């Protein structure tokens, strides 16, 4: 296959802002988790598939399979779609009294 370039589970892209390892990265429709730190505009490896534990809004509860969004201002996963970016789906329940939600990235 001459046209195959890579599997695509990790992408190397210019960081849209300064990021640390394990932070959510949103660059247009690319959504993933930084595999390392980078300054704004520097190349960063972003994991776009897989399951990650992410901090969430304390008041939000997620059921198995619920859509999870990212609030870039608070840097927390949320159940609120309006004004936020879709990350993926919860792969297990996360009650309101828990600090994180386990999310399978959608791999946009």
pLDDT in tens, 74-88: 999 999 999 999 999
Are the C-beta atoms of residues 103 and 90 closer than 8 Å to each other? yes
pLDDT at 99: 97
Are the C-beta atoms of residues 69 and 57 closer than 8 Å to each other? no
User: What total number of domains does the chain contain?
Assistant: 2
Within-domain flag for 2: no
94 and 72 both lie in a single domain: yes
14 and 38 both lie in a single domain: yes
pLDDT at 4: 82
User: In which band, very low, low, confident or very high, does the pLDDT at 102 lie, cut at 50, 70 and 90?
Assistant: very high
- The answer, yes or no, to whether residue 108 has pLDDT greater than 70, is no
64 and 82 both lie in a single domain: yes
User: How many residues are recorded in the chain?
Assistant: 108
62 and 100 both lie in a single domain: yes
Domain of residue 97 covers 51-105
77 and 56 both lie in a single domain: yes
- The answer, yes or no, to whether residue 59 has pLDDT greater than 70, is yes
pLDDT at 1: 79
* Positive/negative CA dihedral, 97, 89, 73, 17: positive
pLDDT at 77: 98
101 and 84 both lie in a single domain: yes
77 and 41 both lie in a single domain: no
């Amino acid at each position: 296959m001459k046209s195959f370039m890579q599997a695509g589970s990790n992408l190397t892209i210019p960081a849209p802002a300064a990021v640390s390892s394990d932070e959510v990265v949103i660059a247009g429709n690319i959504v993933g988790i930084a595999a390392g730190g980078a300054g704004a505009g520097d190349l960063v490896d972003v994991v776009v598939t897989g399951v990650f534990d992410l901090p969430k809004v304390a008041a939000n509860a997620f059921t198995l399979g619920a859509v999870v969004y990212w609030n870039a201002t608070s840097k927390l996963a949320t159940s609120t779609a309006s004004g936020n970016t879709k990350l993926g789906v919860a792969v297990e329940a996360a009650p309101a009294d828990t600090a994180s939600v386990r999310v399978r990235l959608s791999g946009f």
